[in-house]
Structure 1
Amino acid sequence: MALLEVCCFTPESAILAWGGGADRVELCTDQGAGGKTPPVEWLPIVQRHIGIPVFVMIRPRGGDFIYSGAEFDQMKRDINAFKPKADGFVFGILDGQARVDVARTAELVNTAAPLPCTFHKAFDETPDLLAALEDVVATGCSAILTSGGAPSALAGVDTLEELVRKSQKRITIMPGGGVRASNISRIRELTGAGIFHSSAVPEGATEPSASEARQMKAILRKQDPHEVPFVESLSSAASQSSD
C-alpha cells in the first residue's frame, strides 16, 4: 500500500495527522517560509502522542538553499541535537549555480547516519532535474521530495513519472506540492509513486485536517498496491525511535 507523509508546522498538527492515519510526519516550523528547523523541544512532545516516524526538517532560514559556512555548521549542530530521538531528517543544499551541493549534502547525510534523509524541494530549484537526481543519489539520501519542477505535483506528473522510472529503486521519489484528497489518486496513477507528501489542508481551508488525511489514506487503500521501496526504511526508523 502507498504511504502518506504529512507536513506539520506545530505539535498539534502532528498529533492531528497521526489521528488521520498518516504513515509519517515531517516536523517543521514557519509555514510562511516554506518550513524551517523546529524547536528541539517539539520532538519529544510529538512522540509522546503519536506512534509513527517523525522526520525533522533541517533548514536554518527561509529563502534560497545556498548556505554560508556558519549556517551549514548550524545545520550539523541541529541534526546532532535531534538525532537521539528523530526517525530521519529532511534538508537540501544547492551550490552557487543552483545545482545539488553533493559534498555538503553528503556531509549532512553522514552526520545523520544511520537515520534516513530526504532531499527536500530545493531539488525543484535545480536547472536539470535528471542530473539532480543522480547528484542526490550520490549524496546517500534515501528520498527526494519533489513536484517535478512544477508549481504542483499534479502539474508535474510527467516529470515525476520519469523521475520514478529513472530512479530505478535507487532512491524514493516522493511527490509533494498541492497533494490533496481531490487529486492524490490521479497523481499516483500517473506517476507510479509509492509515497506521497501533503500538508493535509483541505482545498479552501488554511489549517490541516484529520479528515483530509483520512480521506487520502482511504483513497490509497482502494487503489492497486504499488511496491514501496522506502517501507523498510520507515520500519527501521520506527523501531529505532521506540528504543
Structure 2
Amino acid sequence: MGRCTFRNLGLLQVIKGRCKIPVFVLIRPRGGDFRYSDLEIQVMRQDIQIFKAHKADGFVIGALSSTAIINFPRQLIVKYSTVRCMSIFLAAFDMCQDPFIAMETIICLGFERILTSGQESSVLEGAPLIRSLVEKAHNRIIIMPGGGINDRNLERILKETNAEEFHCSARSSKNSEMQYQKSSVYMGGVLRAPEFITKSTDAGMVQRMKEMLDKR
C-alpha cells in the first residue's frame, strides 16, 4: 500500500499504468493524531472522490474521537461498487483505547483489513495482541501486522501472530547519483535524513518475503 496524497495523483496514475495488483491510497490530511476537524474531513472526502475517479482500488484511512475511540465520519464511507472496502490506517487503530471493541466497530463499518503493530512500537512487541485479534476476528476481517517487519524477522512474526498477510516498506538505502553534492544545504529540519541518500523498495527483499509467505 503506497502513500498517495493529492499532490501525488501522478504517482497513482503511473502505478496503475504499470502494475496489475490493487493499489490502495492513504487518505490522511496531516500527521499527528487522528482526531480530525470538520474542515479536514472535507479535505479527506475530496481526496477520496478524486482518487476514486482515477481508479484507486481502495483506501487506507482511520479516525478517532478525542477519547481514542473509533469515530469514523459517515461521509467518508465509500459505497461504490467499483471500489473495494477500505482498510484502516495502522496508527489510528493502535492508538485506540480497547482494541477488541475497536475491531468490532471496524467490522461493522465494512472495512476489509486492520493494519496493526499490536498497539506497540513494533510487531514483535505486539505479537501476542495481534494473535488474539486474529483469533477473535474469526475470519470476519483480515488482521494485517505492520511495523518493523523485514526479511530477517518475518518467519517468526508469521508464526507468533498466525497472520495470513503482512505490511512492510521493504526499503533499502542507496547513494544519490548526483555528481556534485552541496553538503551545506538541507531540505528538512534538525532531525533529517542525509540529502544524498535515497530510500526505495528493495525488489530482492520483497521476493524473499513473498517466498517465506508462500512456504507456509
CA distance in structure 2 between the partners assigned to 1:78 and 1:57 by the alignment: 10
The aligned counterpart of 2:124 is 154
Quick one: percent identity of the two aligned structures?
A: 38
The aligned counterpart of 2:212 is 219
Deviations 1:111-155 (A, max 9, x none): 566422001111000121111111111211111000110111111
CA distance in structure 2 between the partners assigned to 1:120 and 1:131 by the alignment: 16
Q: Secondary structure at the match of 2:45?
A: helix
Runs of at least 4 residues of structure 1 off by over 4 A? 111-114, 202-206
Query: Is structure 2 residue 11 aligned with structure 1 residue 42?
Result: yes
Indicate the structure whose relative CO is greater, using CA pairs within 8 Å and at least 6 residues apart: 1
CA distance in structure 1 between the partners assigned to 2:173 and 2:116 by the alignment: 20
Amino acid of the residue matched to residue 100 of structure 1? I
Matches within 5 A, 1:48-87: 48-84=17-53, 85-87=55-57
The aligned counterpart of 2:203 is 210
State which of 104, 108, 131 in structure 1 corresponds to 2:76. Answer: 108
Cα pair 1:37 1:59 within 8 Å, conserved: no
Matches within 5 A, 1:88-99: 88-99=58-69
Amino acid of the residue matched to residue 50 of structure 1? C
Amino acid of the residue matched to residue 110 of structure 1? V
- Residue 100 of structure 1 and its aligned partner are, at CA, apart by 0.5
CA distance in structure 2 between the partners assigned to 1:217 and 1:150 by the alignment: 25
Cα pair 2:78 2:85 within 8 Å, conserved: no
Q: Which has the higher helix share?
A: 1
Provide the TM-score with structure 1 as the length reference. 0.73
The aligned counterpart of 1:119 is 88
The aligned counterpart of 1:129 is 99
Name the Cα RMSD after superposition.
2.0
Provide the TM-score with structure 2 as the length reference. 0.82
Cα pair 1:76 1:111 within 8 Å, conserved: no
Query: Is structure 2 residue 161 aligned with structure 1 residue 191?
Result: yes
Query: Is structure 2 residue 139 aligned with structure 1 residue 164?
Result: no
- Residue 38 of structure 1 and its aligned partner are, at CA, apart by 5.4
- Residue 42 of structure 1 and its aligned partner are, at CA, apart by 1.7
Amino acid of the residue matched to residue 80 of structure 1? Q
CA distance in structure 2 between the partners assigned to 1:181 and 1:137 by the alignment: 30
CA distance in structure 2 between the partners assigned to 1:188 and 1:38 by the alignment: 35
CA distance in structure 2 between the partners assigned to 1:115 and 1:50 by the alignment: 17
Distance 1:37 1:180, change over 3 A: farther
- After TM superposition, the structure 1 stretch with the greater mean CA deviation from structure 2, 133-142 or 197-206, is 197-206
Decide which structure has the larger Cα Rg and report it: 2
Cα pair 2:115 2:146 within 8 Å, conserved: yes
- Residue 203 of structure 1 and its aligned partner are, at CA, apart by 9.6
Amino acid of the residue matched to residue 137 of structure 1? I
Amino acid of the residue matched to residue 47 of structure 1? K
Q: Secondary structure at the match of 1:154?
A: helix
**Structure 1 unmatched runs, 5+:** 1-25, 30-35, 224-243
The aligned counterpart of 1:32 is none
